[in-house]
Amino acid sequence: MRRFIAYICLLCPLFLSAQRHVDYQLQVHADLQKKTFAVQGGLSFETEAGSADSVEITLSKGVGPVKLALQGASGRMDTSLNAGGDIVYCWRFERPLPAGTPLQFTYAYDRGSAPTFQYYLDSNFCMAGGYGSSWYPQVVSHDADSSGSTARATGTITVTTAANLMAVMAASTATITKAAGANTCRFQYSQPDIFSLYIGNYSRQEYKGNRSFYTYSLSKAIDGDDLSRKSSTVLDFLTTQFGPLSIPNFSVIEFPDYVSELTGIGGASILGGVVMPTGALRQFNYALFGHEIGHQWWGNKVRSRGNRGEAMLSEGLAQYGSLQTVYHFDSTHAMDYRKTGYPGYIREQCGLGYLKNLAAGNDQPLSALSDENGHIIGDSKGFLVLDLLSATIGKPAFNKALQTIGEKYSHEGVTWEDFLQEMENAHGRSLQWFYQQWFERQGAPSWQSSWTQQAGKLQLSITQKDSSYRLPLEVLITYTNGTTSLQHIDIHDRTSQVQLPVNGTVTAVQLDPYFKVLHWDDELAPIAMAQAKVVKVVNLRIQQKNTEAIALAQSYLKAGIPDDVYGVEFTLLYQLGRIAAVQNKPDDALAYYQRSLQCASRATDLLAYTYYRIAQLAAAKKDTVLLQWACTNAVKADRLNNKTDGMEAKVAQLLATAAVKA
């Protein structure tokens, strides 16, 4: 499930002119069998200076008429569509309202079942993510630059469902009332939030550590006790890095794999919760949970203010927290994470992932990442640069600075300039050189080196190929007797001559052997250059430009892939299969997958999933022979790849489901 599906953080920047005391009294009547989702109630808030002339409320398109009325003020109401396709209702007042003017709205409408980003409803499950879908009327707050975002709010949300279903909302206190044929859950939000609701046949497991943790699971394959316990230890550890955190009733919430496939959502962090598809919860992953729990600080407790550096203040810092989690709980895979990707996590989120994008021509300065690149580059280059910054300042001072930011800016939000200044304050001297070469410059350093030995001295020559960086580097020296020594150097110039003491005959010298500095590593460079074609196709697919992605992939295949030792043809065919499956063209998808298996060079990290995708299609076609063959090979391929994808459990579930439907 993790392959090229976005793991998103559901965040909302804090804006200076946010409405004050936004509060909802909201009732939801969800009938999943009839595919109705009726929302009604009221909301109130006090105006700020930025809303003296007008107020905007967004609401998704629903079924039938919408009743949305402003009480106690007069003005003209216009409607338009925003970039996400939601309706924007704008009231323009006859005269400016003084700051602090109370406004009240009433509303009633049926959202229905039409899917949009973070909204999905069928007869068994409902996802209504408020961070990506205005399933309830959302008040828009504006900053000085006129950019807008959803205001966080307190309130009481009452959800009525069928008796066999449970409604789940994180970061709230809940009471459940059972009646004939129905369940009514009442959620109380005392801490302002953006509301996300999940409805399904949930069971709840609780773990009591330093705080209460809950896992809401849909399938018996999920070990809720283990998930809650390990999540608790990760949150406790990150508290030592980032500072205290107040979260009521932290929740891990499962949603079905098929919903993940249909929506493209592979996971999310919301205030007080982590929302994950079934496949991501079968085995606890420290990188994944470190990232999503890290967002409890970076994006929730501390929100970015302004566009500059926004992705680094959310995605970059959450991914930095993920790396620290791996250092602490699974240090043997820390270098893998930095260089080629953490097992079971998104493999593109590492140094190699960034170099692939760089080779594909997709790059931006970390201080100015676009929405499209916030995850792609923030989670590949960004977290490695932050880790290098922490080493430059010193981990204790860096952590203290992050804790200071967590307390100082938790209410007003933090700007990129605030962050940089706090880092300099912690360091005690200027870091402008670091900021310029890592945050304002695109690309990564590249060097070549040579060495000679004269008795007890090693003469090392280093030439930076493109542009000069100021770099702290480790040097691993290997001797004829098999022993090694690790020494540290600093280089500043295009060409550097360094002399190091040695205590034996040297056989090998390696710069930055553990990939602590992002650079064009000799091992990674040819892979990145070859896979650049795949990255271009995948990025188009992520942007939902499937027609362009198909055309580009087919043009590469038609031209041929000479000397294809890195599975480029295989991966392009796999991506075409994924796109065809999303487009509901199962025969085309199956043909692409089967064709990919005929390639001489196959990508080991995708091979098990290729067989599994074939198995899914075979199950839908009720082709038992193909199903058994594909399942067997999916498990074999996964074993050869250190069981990275947990195929045994996935295959067992698929076979069990197929047997029930037979």
Q: Is 563 left (phi over 0), alpha (psi -120 to 50) or beta?
A: left
Model pLDDT, residue 3: 36
Q: Which residue has the tokens 């989702």?
A: 37
pLDDT of residue 17: 43
Residues 41 and 178 in one domain: yes
Average pLDDT over residues 509-514: 98
Mean pLDDT in residue range 536-563 = 95
Do 37 and 135 contact (CB within 8 A), yes or no? Answer: yes
**What was the pLDDT predicted at 147?**
53
Residues 372 and 316 in one domain: yes
Q: Please check whether residue 596 lies inside any domain of the structure.
A: yes
* Total domains, the chain: 4
* Predicted local distance difference test score (pLDDT) of residue 51: 72
Residue 305 included in any domain: no
Average pLDDT on 564-586 reads 96
Give the tokens for residue 241. 């890095």
Give me the pLDDT at residue 77, please.
Answer: 92
The predicted model gives 540-567 an average pLDDT of 95
- Is 517 a member of any domain? no
Instruction: List the structure tokens of 524.
Output: 């990674």
Rounded (5°) CA angle 123-124-127: 100
| pLDDT of the residue at 660 | 74
pLDDT at 16 over 70: no
| 520 occurs within a structural domain | no
In the structure, what pLDDT confidence band is assigned to residue 143 with cuts at 50, 70 and 90? low
Q: Distances from the Cα of 479 to the Cαs of 80, 432, 482, 497, 512, in angstroms?
A: 71, 39, 5, 21, 17
59 lies in the same domain as 170: yes
Instruction: pLDDT band for 18, please (50, 70, 90 cuts).
Output: low
pLDDT in tens, 433-443: 999 999 999 99
According to the model, what pLDDT value does residue 9 have?
Answer: 44
Least confident range of 18-27, 389-398, 496-505, 567-576: 18-27
Q: Which domain holds residue 162?
A: 6-294
Sheet of 495-501: strand order equals 447-454, 457-464, 495-501
In a domain, 397, yes or no: yes
CATH number at residue 162: 2.60.40.1730
Task: Evaluate whether residue 614 is within a structural domain.
Answer: yes
Same domain? For 655 and 574 the reply is yes
- Whether 1 has a pLDDT exceeding 60, the answer reads no
Q: Name the pLDDT band for 10 (thresholds 50, 70, 90).
A: very low
Tokens of 316: 């970059």
pTM: 0.90
**Residue 249 confidence (pLDDT) above 80:** no
- 564 and 507, same structural domain? no
Whether 129 and 33 share a structural domain:
yes
CATH number, domain of 424, equals 1.10.390
Mean pLDDT of 456-463: 96
Q: Which amino acid is at 410?
A: S
Query: 383, 410, 439: which is the final residue of a domain?
Result: 439
CATH code at 613? Answer: 1.25.40.10
Instruction: Answer yes or no: do 494 and 405 share one domain.
Output: no
User: Do 431 and 552 fall into the same domain?
Assistant: no
pLDDT at position 148 is 65
Where does a domain end: 484, 511, 538?
A: 511
Identify how many contiguous H helices and E strands the chain contains and give both numbers: 20, 28
Identify whether residues 469 and 553 lie together within a single domain. Answer: no
The mean pLDDT value for 401-422 works out to 95
DSSP string, 348-416: TSSHHHHHHHHHTT----GGG--TTHHHHTIIIIIHHHHHHHHHHH-HHHHHHHHHHHHHHSTTT-B-H
Mean pLDDT within 648-661: 87
Only one residue has tokens 């270098």, namely: 335
First to last CA, the chain: 25
Q: Which of 483, 511, 539 is the last residue of a domain?
A: 511
Q: What is the pLDDT of residues 39-49, one digit of tens each?
A: 999 999 998 87
Tokens of 505: 């005959």
Q: Are residues 132 and 151 in the same domain?
A: yes
Q: Is the pLDDT of residue 468 over 80?
A: yes
pLDDT tier at 336, thresholds 50, 70, 90: very high
Q: Which two tokens stand for residue 64?
A: 């039938």
**Residue 590 counted as domain residue:** yes
C-alpha span between 342 and 337 (Å, rounded): 4
> Residue 247 pLDDT more than 60?
yes
- pLDDT-based confidence at residue 52 (cuts at 50, 70, 90): confident
Confidence of residue 142 (pLDDT cuts 50, 70, 90): low
Has residue 5 got a pLDDT over 90? no
| Alpha carbons 68 and 57: distance in angstroms, whole number | 10
Confidence at residue 11, expressed as pLDDT on a 0 to 100 scale? 43
Q: Is the pLDDT of residue 528 over 90?
A: yes
Contact at 8 Å (CB) between 478 and 484? Answer: yes
DSSP code at position 139: E
Asked if residues 230 and 223 have their Cβ atoms less than 8 Å apart, the reply is: no
Has residue 262 got a pLDDT over 70? Answer: yes
DSSP-assigned letters across all residues of 309-320:
THHIIIIIHHHH
Rg of the chain in Å (alpha carbons): 26
Same domain, 482 and 628: no
Is the same domain home to 506 and 532? no
What band does 252 get if pLDDT is binned at 50, 70 and 90? very high
CB 354 within 8 A of CB 377: yes
Domain contains 521 = no
Q: What is the pLDDT of residue 626?
A: 98
Mean pLDDT computed over every residue of the chain: 92
